[in-house]
């Protein structure tokens, strides 16, 4: 990890790690989908399950990213990715990230054609049953997310923050506009999922930093859903806004909207959506209290309560896992 991979405190950007995770998942799933004779294809990212940043990675450490296919349905591949960091001076290693990603194979001849996935061999029947359950759960969640995906964040590039009250949604809300070039894209001419996630993390980080005015780091990312492909030549607008704060964490909602204005008569569309969670850190790297989010409108109050529900659900799930681990 080099200085341009990290923030001002020397911690590697969450978006950089997400990009590495996606690259590993794309490689292994594309290999699997082309493992049998048939139409050549490239695996495209459809969804990333909740990802927790278990430990910070620092400049000078070596990242080791490993990927394994854990389930295949007829048209999708589930990939588990682990990220280890290694201090090459001491040899110390630590697990920094665990992620689950879903890919679909797209034909090289016709990018709108989803091909069938070669089935994997399971070591036991329970492994297949558990994978099928995860597949049905993520499929249902993707549909629910798409149904509530009509919300709009108007791009704010250079707002007059002096007219905004500190710690309000409008004060920290941020946007980034990016022209999709060839280096952002796959062989099919569509944006790499990792590139999109890196930009989303940058915007969410700006929102968090503006709210706290301290060093911030990515703590976790809720499920990232890739609703539609983004083509080379599109202008994408990545917008983020604060939705919820607890005593020590912030939830930021991030949308990616695409404008296919080159050779495309299509109107702007929602391409990706997700929730990022950040924590505030002191110069010594210790957690700091987060300023309470001030909600002003009914929509902001509604989103705050929805975020609180997600926060309490995640907290309860984590406590149950800790109790289960203690009993084993």
The SS3 of residue 103 is strand
Spatial neighbors of 141 by CB under 8 A, at least 6 apart, are 223, 225
Distance CA 42, CA 191 (A): 12
Beta bridge partners of 225: 47, 273
- Give the tokens for residue 268: 């702007």
Residues classed as catalytic: 7, 201
Spatial neighbors of 206 by CB under 8 A, at least 6 apart, are 174, 176, 240
Task: Output Rg (C-alpha) for the chain, integer angstroms.
Answer: 20
Distances (CA, A) of 304 to 150, 166, 223, 252, 255: 18, 17, 18, 10, 17
The SS3 of residue 30 is helix
Query: Whole-angstrom distance between the N-terminal and C-terminal Cα of the chain?
Result: 36
- Give the tokens for residue 114: 């989803």
Helix (H) or strand (E) holding 209: helix 193-212
Q: Are 292 and 245 in contact (CB under 8 A)?
A: yes
- Which runs of E-coded beta strand occur in the chain? 41-48, 51-53, 62-72, 77-86, 93-107, 174-179, 215-221, 224-226, 235-245, 250-259, 269-281
Distance CA 160, CA 158 (A): 7
Distance CA 328, CA 326 (A): 6
């Amino acid at each position: 990890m080099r200085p341009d991979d990290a923030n001002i405190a020397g911690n590697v950007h969450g978006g950089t790690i997400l990009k590495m995770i996606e690259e590993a998942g794309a490689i292994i799933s594309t290999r699997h989908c082309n493992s049998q004779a048939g139409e050549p294809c490239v695996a495209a990212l459809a969804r990333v399950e909740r990802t927790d940043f278990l430990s910070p990675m620092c400049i000078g450490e070596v990242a080791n990213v490993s990927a394994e296919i854990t389930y295949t349905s007829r048209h999708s591949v589930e990939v588990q990715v682990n990220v280890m960091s290694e201090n090459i001076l001491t040899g110390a290693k630590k697990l920094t990230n665990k992620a689950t990603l879903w890919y679909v194979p797209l034909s090289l001849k016709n990018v709108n054609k989803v091909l069938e996935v070669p089935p994997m061999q399971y070591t036991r029947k329970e492994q297949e049953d558990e994978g099928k359950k995860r597949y049905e759960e993520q499929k249902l969640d993707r549909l629910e997310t798409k149904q509530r995906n009509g919300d709009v964040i108007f791009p704010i590039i250079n707002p007059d923050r002096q007219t905004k009250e500190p710690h309000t949604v409008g004060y920290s809300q941020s946007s980034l506009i990016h022209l999709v070039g060839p280096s952002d894209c796959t062989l099919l001419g569509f944006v790499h999922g990792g590139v999109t996630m890196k930009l989303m993390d940058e915007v969410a980080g700006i929102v968090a930093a503006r709210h706290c005015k301290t060093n911030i780091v990515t703590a976790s990312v809720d499920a990232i859903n890739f609703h539609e492909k983004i083509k080379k030549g599109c202008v994408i607008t990545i917008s983020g806004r604060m939705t919820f704060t607890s005593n020590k964490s912030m939830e930021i909602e991030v949308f990616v909207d695409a404008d296919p204005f080159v050779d495309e008569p299509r109107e702007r569309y929602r391409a990706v959506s997700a929730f990022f969670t950040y924590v505030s850190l002191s110069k010594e790297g210790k957690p700091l209290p987060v300023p309470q989010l001030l909600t002003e409108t009914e929509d902001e109050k509604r989103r705050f309560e929805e975020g609180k529900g997600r926060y309490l659900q995640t907290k309860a799930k984590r406590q149950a896992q800790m109790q289960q681990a203690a009993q084993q």
